Structure 1
Amino acid sequence: MTCTLILTRHAKSAWDTSAPSDHARPLNKRGRASAKALGDWLRDIDQLPGQVLSSSSQRTRETYQLMDLFAPAVFTERLFHASPEIIFEVLKQAEHPRTMILCHNPGIAAFAHAIVSHPPDHSRFDDYPTGATLIARFDIDRWSDLTWGSGKVVDFIVPRELLGA
C-alpha cells in the first residue's frame, strides 16, 4: 500500500489590507484565481485528497474553500508558520492515505526538501512560492510509519503554470 501527500502552500495573500494581524490576511485576486486553478488541476489529474490538514490562518482557509476539494478539513494553529518538524508530526497523525497539508513558508519549503528522496527538476521548488503544490508517494501502509527522505515525487506545480501568467 502507499500513502500520498499533497503539500500545498497557501495561495497569494493580500498585503494592502486592513487585516488586524498576519493570521487574518486574506487572499488577493491572483490568489483566489490560483486556488481555483489548483483545485481544478488536482481534479484533472485525479489527485483529490481524502482529508486536509491546514493552518488556521485566513489565507489557508480561503485557499481550501476556493480549491473546492470536497474533503474534510482540520484547521489547526500548529500549522501556522510551522517548522518542518511540526509539519512532520502533524502528518504522522493523518488518517487518510491521500492527505493534503496546507500551510506556510519557510517551513513548508524546508519540509518539502526533507521529506522527498530526490527533489523535482523544477526551478521554483527551492523557494516554494505561493500556491506551490508537491505530490509525493510513500511506500507505507499508514502515516505513522513516515520517515524523512522517503517520498517519491509524483508532480510539482506552481499556479503560474496553470494560469499562463
Structure 2
Amino acid sequence: MPLRLILIRHAKSDWDNPLDTDHARPLNARGRRAAPMVGTWLAAQGHVPGQVLVSDAVRTRQTWDLIAPALPGPPEVTFLPALYHASAGQMQRCLSAAQADTVLMIGHNPGIAYFAAGLLARPPAHADFQRYPTCATLVADFDAADWGQIGTGTCVDFKTPRDLGPR
C-alpha cells in the first residue's frame, strides 16, 4: 500500500489588525469559507488522513478546525512549532516521523510550495501549482515503506478553492 500525503497551505488570513503578530493572524471571511470546501472535497474523494501535522500558527489551526468536521475520524492531530514558516527541508523532517499511511500537513508559503514541487516526479497541469495559493491542496502518493524513505511521488490531485466553487 502506498503512502499518501495531503499537503495544504493554510486558508486566506486576515491582515486587518496591525497589532496581530504574524503567528497570531486569524483567517478572514474568505478563508473561513474556503477551508470547509476543502474538507468536503477531501471526504468526497476518499482522501482521509490517519494523522495530521499542523503548524501551530493561529491561521493553520483554524484551517484544520474548519476542514476536520467534514472528515470521518478523528485522526491523530499534532500542532508543531517546527512547521511555522518551515522550509521544505524542515517539512520533510517533520513528515519523516509520521506513522500513518495517509498524512495531512498544513503549512505556509514559500516552504510548502517548494516542498510540494520537490516531492513530485511531474507537477500537476494546474496553472496555480507553482504559486500554491491559500488553501491549495496537493494529494500525492509515494511507493515507500515509511515516511523517512520517501523519494519522488506521484500527483493524485491538486485543487484550489477556486476549483471547488464560489469564494
Please report the TM-score for the alignment, with normalisation by the length of structure 2.
Answer: 0.94
Structure 1: gaps spanning 5 or more residues: none
Q: Report 1:22-61 matches (<5 A).
A: 22-61=22-61
Measure the CA separation in 1 of the matches of 2:113 and 2:14: 21
1:146 aligns with 2:147: no
Distance in 2 separating the partners of 1:50 and 1:128 = 24
Question: What is the rounded CA distance, in whole Å, between the counterparts of 1:4 and 1:19 in structure 2?
Answer: 39
Matching of residue 106 in structure 1 with residue 110 in structure 2: yes
CA contact (8 A) 1:91 1:143 kept: yes
The whole-number CA distance in structure 2 between the counterparts of 1:32 and 1:132 is 14
What pairs with 1:11-160 in structure 2 (closer than 5 Å)? 11-17=11-17, 20-68=20-68, 69=71, 70-147=74-151, 150-160=152-162
Any runs of at least 4 consecutive aligned residues in structure 1 with deviations exceeding 3 A, and if so which? none
Deviation at 1:51, TM superposition (A): 0.7
- Per-residue CA shift, 1:26-53, capped at 9, x if unaligned? 0011101100000000000010111111
Distance 2:38 2:20 in 1: 28
Q: Tell me the SS of whatever aligns to 1:89.
A: helix
Distance in 1, matches of 2:31 and 2:17, equals: 14
C-alpha separation in 2, matches of 1:44 and 1:19: 39
Q: SS of 2:139's equivalent?
A: strand
| TM-superposed deviation, 1:141 | 1.8
Within 2, Cα distance between the matches of 1:58 and 1:18? 15
CA contact (8 A) 1:49 1:71 kept: yes
Deviation by residue 1:73-121 (Cα, 9 ceiling, x = unmatched): 1111100000000001111111101001100000000010001110000
Which stretch of structure 1 is more off in the superposition, 110-119 or 14-23? Answer: 14-23
Task: Give 1:163 shift.
Answer: 2.2
Please state whether the residue corresponding to 1:24 is helix, strand or coil.
Answer: coil
The CA distance in 1 between the partners of 2:10 and 2:166, in whole Å, is: 19
Superposition TM-score, scaled by structure 1 size: 0.95
Unpaired segments ≥5 residues, structure 2: none
Structure 1 residues 124-154: Cα deviation after superposition (integer angstroms, max 9, x where no partner): 001000000000000112112112xx11000
| Aligned match of 1:162 | 164
User: Which whole-Å CA distance do the structure 2 matches of 1:40 and 1:22 have between them?
Assistant: 28
1-side partners of 2:147 and 2:131: how far apart?
26
The percent identity for this pair of structures is 45
Please state how far the C-alpha of 1:18 moved relative to its aligned partner: 5.3
Alpha-carbon separation, structure 2, partners of 1:81 and 1:158: 20
